[in-house]
Chains A and B, each alone.
Chain A
Amino acid sequence: MIEKAKILDKEALNRSLMRIAHEILEKNKGTQNLCLIGIRSRGACLAQRLGALILRIDQVMVPVGILDITLYRDDLTMIGSGPVVHKTEIDFDITGKNVVLIDDVLYTGRTVRAALDALIDFGRPKTIQLAVLIDRGHRELPIRADYVGKNIPTSKNEIVEVRLEETDGIDEVVIVGQDKPG
């Protein structure tokens, strides 16, 4: 595996998040009934950051929750041994809310499908919107994002790695992949 290209550095990543924060506020006409729910683990970090940015822009603290979708996956038996189940932390009612679901990378759409099932078990939101830092294409389900940090065309044997201060000690997005011989 070799690192092929840096897609976003710290500054670009933060600018993308700032733009997404503004877009969320624009589309929802402010913070009324708004809440953010991040998918573990990097989506949760991004949700916290977007919450902080929205606080800076509109001086309102919107509720931020964390969703663990392990129990809702349709590929539990395909992802190898021992997926670890973490806690879901949504300590507010999502019924009637505009929920912005947040993840780092949108790829096949299966994670988002699982997250939608999980969210609907918690209540009946007014809307669910999707924000992702990277959209790399190759969807297997009819799912699209409402807010995208950056679209990156990729091949299926590449891996997009989002690295964040909180989980990886650095803010950056890189593509890694096999070096094709010849």
Chain B
Amino acid sequence: MAWIRKDLLGLEDLSREEIELILTTAESFKEISTREIKKVPALRGKTVVNLFYEPSTRTRVSFEVAAKRLSADVINIATETSSVRKGETLIDTGKNIQALKADIIVVRHNCSGAATMLARHLDISVVNAGDGWHEHPTQALLDIFTLKEKFGRIAGLKVSIVGDIAHSRVARSNIWGLTKLGAEVTVCAPKMLIPEGIEKMGARVTYDIDEALKEAEAVNVLRMQFERDEKAAFPQQLEYFKQYGITTQRLKKAKKKIIVMHPGPINRGIEISSEIADGENSVILEQVTNGIAVRMGVLFLVAQARDNNGGNHTD
């Protein structure tokens, strides 16, 4: 099958075949990062703009590395130092970037739906690097890619996602992607961090961490974000670690070969113990490596689709 979308906005919109195409494309790109000359000319002459309205190091750097390994030119815009401070809207910023003849905007924004809105107003490609609580498709794709590499399959795989499900775009994208490929997804968190209606997305819900881990072949541990009030945060963090933290003790009751994933940055001693984060079940750093291959695949596919259709602008 051929990829025809000029944008990648989320996994909810994609078919199983489209997700599989991204994964196989990424597989082919992985080898490039192992070469002595880690570069191919596929996106030579293309310009990729990273437009980040939220602080991010790993996602931005990963996209930047991916674009550069494809020979694209990369421009990073951090909104703290741009005209956004002077009140420019997202769409105006996007249109200006388009007028500069950039080819792809990689956007991270704290509002759900920001990437979709931007894509609707622009002819150039938009890749969602995280929008509010909505989706973070490339993170889920790299998680799924890592699982597929480890297990050789996704269908029937038992995956538990543990942590702040309510505020997590990573969780949402993972649930969409994994269930489309036939995995059995369980989400686990304290009740207040499980959003209502999450079962409708195809995930099983449990509040009991031991139960979530018992049958799981992989656990994806999400970062806990407590409020900045440190006095209140500290006891909360201890309590969370005690009840839901992924520790050696807790994993003793799980499958011996359970894979531990984390989208990073990790909070040692809050959602995961150092022993597990650095231990043999952890694939956290492999996820980072795979993220480059997945983002190379995505950038390549959207650029290609736009070249072939001349964009699928609908306005």
Question: A-side interface residues toward B, CB under 8 Å?
Answer: 68, 70-72, 76-77, 80-89, 117-118, 121-123
Contact = CB atoms under 8 A, between A and B. Distances in A.
B307 A76 contact: yes
Contacts of A72: 40-42
B28 A86 contact: yes
Contact of B2 (A70, A81, A122): A81
Contacts of A123: 36
B31 A85 contact: no
B27 interface: yes
A82 B4 contact: yes
11 contacts: A68-B28, A72-B40, A72-B42, A76-B42, A81-B4, A82-B4, A82-B305, A84-B24, A89-B31, A121-B35, A122-B37
Given A72-B41, A122-B36, A82 B28 contact: no
A53 B19 CA distance: 41
A147 B301 CA distance: 36
Nearest to A70: B42
Contacts, number: 56
Given A71-B40, A83-B304, A118-B40, 11 more contacts: A68-B28, A72-B40, A72-B42, A76-B42, A81-B3, A81-B304, A82-B1, A84-B24, A85-B25, A85-B28, A86-B28
Contact of B40 (A84, A89, A121): A121
A68 B28 CA distance: 9
B29 interface: yes
B28 A121 contact: no
Interface in B274-315: 297, 300, 304-305, 307-309
Contacts of B39: 121
B4 to A, nearest CB: 7
A85 B35 contact: no
A94 to B, nearest CB: 11
B27 A87 contact: yes
A118 to B, nearest CB: 8
A71 B304 contact: no
B136 to A, nearest CB: 24
B308 A81 contact: yes
A71 B307 contact: no
A123 B35 CA distance: 9
Contacts of B304: 76, 81-83
Nearest to B37: A121
A85 B300 contact: yes
Interface in B92-150: none
A87 B308 CA distance: 23
Contacts of B70: 71
